[in-house]
Amino acid sequence: MQSSRVKKENPPARLLWTMFLLVLGLVVVYGTLALGIFALVQRLVRLDESNYTLVWPILILTVSAILGVVLAIFIFRGYLAPLSRLMQATQAVAAGDYSVRVELRGARGEVADYIRSFNKMAEELGSVEMLQSDFVNTFSHEFKTPLISIRGFAKLLQNPDLSAEQRATYAGTIARESERLAAMSTHILELTQYENTEIVSGKTLYSLDEQLRRCIHQQERSWLQKGLTVEGDLDRADYYGNEELVEHIWSNLIANAIRFTPAGGQITVVLRKEPGAVSVAVSDTGIGMDAETQRHIFDKFYRGEQGSDSRGNGLGLSIVRRAVELCGGTVEVFSRPGEGATFTVTLGMEDRGGGKERGFQGGK
C-alpha cells in the first residue's frame, strides 16, 4: 500500500557521498589557501627555493588532509550520523511503520530538536492509528449486532404458524433494534461533525434555564414510563452560545440518567449562575459507577454495567465531552457504585463581541 509508493532510495548512501564531497572540498580549500599563503610568504621574504619548495607544500597538504578528516569526523558524529538515522526513520514512517523511534545518541542542537519532534510525531501517529483501528472495529461490531438481530427476527416472522403474540414480540424487537441503529447513525454523524469543528458559530443569547426545562419535557415519556421523579432547581440565566450544540449536552446527560436509574428513582437537574460562569449538575439515584468505569465513561462506544437498560450505544457521553470542549467548558463526574452519579458541566459566560467566526453552525 503506502510502502509501494516509497522510492527505492538510500538516504544514508547519499549522505555518505555528500560527506565525502564535503571532505574533499575542505581539503582542496585548505590546501589552496595554504599554498597561496606559502607562495605569498616566499615572495615576500625570498625563501631559498631549493630547500623549501618541496618540503613545505607536502607538509601543508598533509596538515590540510588531517584537518579535513578531523573536521569530517566531527561533522559526521555531531550532524550527519543522527540525520542519517532520522532520514531512515522518516522513510519507515512513510511506509506505515509508526513504531520507529530515533536515538538521540550523538545529536546536538537543532538536530536533537528535530529528532525529539520526530519521535513525538511518530508516537502521536501511532496513537491515532490505534484509535482509528479500535474505532472501526468497535463500530463494526456495534453496527453488526442489531443488524443480525433484525435479520434473525425478520426470518422468524416469515413462519406462517406464529401466534399473534409472537409476531408482536418479534416485530417489537425489530423496531427497537432499528431505532438503535438510527440513533447510532445520528450520534456518529454528530460526533464526527463536532470532532471536525474548532470554532463554534451561530451563537445567540438565549435562556439557559428554559432550554433545560424543554430538554426535560422532551424526554418526559421516557422517565414517566419508568416511574421516575424529575426535579429541577434552576436559576434564571441567559447564555450566549450555539443553542443546538448546548442542547445536545443536556439531552444526552438526561437520557443517560434515565437509562441507568431503576424504576422509582429520582433525577435532579440543578442550574447555578456564578460570576462569569454557569454550572449545571444532572444527578440520579441509579446504579452508579466504580473508579475504572469513570476513567473510560467518555470514551467512544464504552459501556459499563448496563443495569436494566441496554439500549445505549456508548456515544452519548463522548458527544457531551466534545460539545463541552467546543463551548470552552468542563465536565466532571462523581459517582459511587449503587449511589447514583452526578455530571457537572461548567460553561464560561462568553464575551458577545469579537470578529467573525467560522465553524459549526447548527440549525433547527
Q: What is the pLDDT of residues 85-95, one digit of tens each?
A: 888 888 888 88
- Answer whether residue 354 shows pLDDT above 50: no
| pLDDT for 170 | 86
In angstroms, the CA 304 to CA 54 distance is 88
Q: How far is CA 116 from CA 11, 25, 106, 212, in A?
A: 20, 32, 13, 48
In angstroms, the CA 303 to CA 305 distance is 7
**135-195 adopts what CATH topology?**
Helix Hairpins (1.10.287)
The pLDDT-based confidence of 167 (bands split at 50, 70, 90) is confident
Other CB atoms within 10 A of residue 233 CB: 10
In angstroms, the CA 16 to CA 316 distance is 56
Contact status, residue 348 vs residue 329, Cβ threshold 8 Å: yes
- Record the cell numbers describing residue 325, joined without a space: 470542549
- Computed over every residue of the chain, the mean pLDDT equals 76
Least trusted range by pLDDT, from 43-52, 229-238, 263-272 = 43-52
> What 3-state DSSP class applies to 44?
helix
Measured in whole angstroms, the distance separating CA 321 from the mean position of its chain's CA atoms is 13
Q: Which residues of 334-347 are buried (b: 16+ CB within 10 A; e: fewer)?
A: ebeeeebbbbbbbb
Angle at 169 between CA 167 and CA 175, to 5 degrees: 100
pTM recorded for the entire structure: 0.53
- Answer whether residue 358 shows pLDDT above 60: no
In angstroms, the CA 231 to CA 269 distance is 6
Contact status, residue 4 vs residue 96, Cβ threshold 8 Å: no
| pLDDT for 7 | 42
Say if strands 238-241 and 204-207 run parallel, antiparallel, or are unpaired. Answer: antiparallel
- 204-348 has the same fold as 135-195: no
- Answer whether residue 132 shows pLDDT above 50: yes
In angstroms, the CA 85 to CA 71 distance is 20
- pLDDT tens sequence across 49-61: 545 555 666 666 6
| Amino acid sitting at position 215 | C
In angstroms, the CA 192 to CA 117 distance is 28
CATH classification for the domain delimited by 204-348, as one of 3.30.230.10, 3.40.50.280, 3.30.565.10, 2.40.50.90: 3.30.565.10
- pLDDT tens sequence across 88-130: 888 888 887 878 888 877 676 777 788 888 888 887 777 666 6
Burial class of residue 42 (count of CB atoms within 10 Å of its CB; 0-12, 13-18, 19+)? middle
- Answer whether residue 295 shows pLDDT above 60: yes
Contact status, residue 245 vs residue 206, Cβ threshold 8 Å: no
Domain ranges in the chain are 2-107, 135-195, 204-348
